[in-house]
Structure 1
């Protein structure tokens, strides 16, 4: 009888395997199971992922792998699975439709389905198709019972009992219609915001630059909008962003910067910019690449009410002593396993199938 402990140990070993691939570099370690079979092959998959999607720079891929390596340790996984009663008698097949905006963006759903004892049917995004199948093979070598429980599919999804699907607000409407007969979690667009009160230090803004620029701002945990007090002076903010100036050397980012700047200038919008980031006053949450939107607020209570009312559109609120469940500056891209996307507890959903 395969137990949840075996599954925890398998993912913990995957965490050890991934620890060889970090932002400090790629370095083969001793004592990693099946390393002879998988180490060089995974290096090759990283290279293929970069070639397939120019937003997936080596640094961004390694950042994601390092983050997952830190999460996938025995204690974290144990606490994660203990947070819900996972006594699943009749395992089901759960389909996952994955997004492709940042490397391994669908991994949390994949982990949740497998660790809870269900089988997984994965439909990947064409933008992020190289890393996960390889890691799935590693898991099958580490834990025999995973064999036959992981299927990757390119065509239409068939023969599944429940579904977790992530997409844009438009595709979400399609998913809601298409999957309405099955238990489902449908995820839409979300963005993250930062509340600036004027008490921040240069260090806070340097940390905030990670929340803004990591993954080129393409993740739902990336900050795309600032709330600032009336007549706020952005000088300190721009000083904090300066340590990310090298981002403009990425051709794809630079093209987006030039294009969006030209559009704004032709429309005669008021812009502040520093050569690699533009900020524009705008009520929307979702800003284009190389742009951050900002909005002024008059008093904190009104802003708290607004953020609460718009919580369906917001993934993280970054702040310093403003809200109870705020995220600290520099921490949006380091979620805990229990920081569920959209605040929907995936494990609980899976435990009730």
Structure 2
């Protein structure tokens, strides 16, 4: 397949996904494969929570809509324009995927296929259904992809390169196991927000989206906030009260109760609004239902600190207080060219 043909296939996938939203599933006449796949995808979304308790229909629909918005002609052209695909020698690229949020491995899957390689996919036990369904759709509209997509359950064998995502602990295993293969090994990262006290209520409500989307399970979720000395959290708590219904979800509520109890038994000082605790802590990775905070003296020193600890950080949210900031409410809306861990996946695949 030519690059243009591959683009067209993924644009068609984007059109298919654009039919699904939490508000309404609307079947469009000009979308390929609807007779076979539309109703089945609606059923899969509704069943996803039975496969993974965190995959509520609301969260799965959000992921689906995000990919529908990403897979457009304009976005694909913008993303791929900077690369030279003329000398690609097709190889087999293995993917070891995470399962913390719905379709978290789709970008790697897309990148391997768009660069002309074959993909061997080992899904997470927490996300075994959504990506294989989309792969079946792609093969339905482009049968030549059948030989280029393989899902495996056992040991990875007969591959030329690997992209693996996991925790810091599993990363050490991956680095040893795949030491003789070209690889991208992704570790744990967290996202942060920087406030200066001048944020509007709308900014802070949007920050709630960055905190609570996917129940805080993604590396792009804000798990820590940097605030100036003597910052008062009243406005923050007032704004995020909009997300109070999250405590009605049993798995989140159980985590909230457990983590709050652990903090209190350890005599940590907490601020609490009944569905989120915030705790002063120098770490980046806060548990579910909690956000850490840390005071800063001045932005210049904070920026230097963040530069030295960049390998722990995925996104920085602020009103342009530091360079490369993401706007409030946008962490879970990355562009195709916003690479995880800032590692250019396409460049890696083109030289592999």
Aligned to 1:44: 43
Deviation at 1:19?
A: 0.5
Aligned to 1:319: 318
User: Structure 2, unaligned stretches of length 5 or more?
Assistant: none
Q: 1:159 to 1:33 in 2, by over 3 A?
A: same
Aligned to 1:189: 188
Aligned to 2:309: 310
Aligned to 1:229: 228
> Retained in 1: the 8 A contact 2:88–2:350?
no
SS in 2 for 1:78: helix
State how 1:169-248 maps to structure 2 within 5 Å: 169-248=168-247
Aligned to 1:264: 263
Superposed CA deviations along residues 6-35 of structure 1, whole A, max 9, x for unmatched, are 000000000000011123232222211110
Superposed CA deviations along residues 214-267 of structure 1, whole A, max 9, x for unmatched, are 000000000000000111100001111111000000000000000111111111
> Retained in 1: the 8 A contact 2:203–2:328?
yes
Deviation at 1:350?
A: 0.4
Deviation at 1:334?
A: 0.3
Aligned to 1:128: 127
Q: Within 2, Cα distance between the matches of 1:243 and 1:185? A: 39
TM-score normalised by length of structure 1:
0.98
State how 1:1-353 maps to structure 2 within 5 Å: 2-353=1-352
> Retained in 1: the 8 A contact 2:88–2:115?
no
> Retained in 1: the 8 A contact 2:286–2:292?
yes
Q: Within 1, Cα distance between the matches of 2:74 and 2:300? A: 39
Deviation at 1:48?
A: 3.0
Q: Within 1, Cα distance between the matches of 2:173 and 2:118? A: 24
SS in 2 for 1:288: coil
Q: Within 1, Cα distance between the matches of 2:88 and 2:343? A: 23
Deviation at 1:80?
A: 1.5
Q: Within 2, Cα distance between the matches of 1:287 and 1:167? A: 17
> Retained in 2: the 8 A contact 1:122–1:152?
yes
| Alignment RMSD | 0.9
Q: 1:79 to 1:323 in 2, by over 3 A?
A: same
Q: Within 2, Cα distance between the matches of 1:187 and 1:111? A: 17
SS in 2 for 1:147: helix
Deviation at 1:85?
A: 1.3
User: Structure 1, unaligned stretches of length 5 or more?
Assistant: none
SS in 2 for 1:331: coil
SS in 2 for 1:54: coil
> Retained in 2: the 8 A contact 1:88–1:117?
no
Q: Within 1, Cα distance between the matches of 2:88 and 2:238? A: 56
SS in 1 for 2:334: coil
> Retained in 1: the 8 A contact 2:94–2:121?
yes
Deviation at 1:83?
A: 2.3
Q: 1:248 to 1:94 in 2, by over 3 A?
A: same
Alignment: residue pair count:
352
Q: Within 2, Cα distance between the matches of 1:88 and 1:132? A: 28
Runs of 4+ in structure 1 off by over 4 angstroms are none
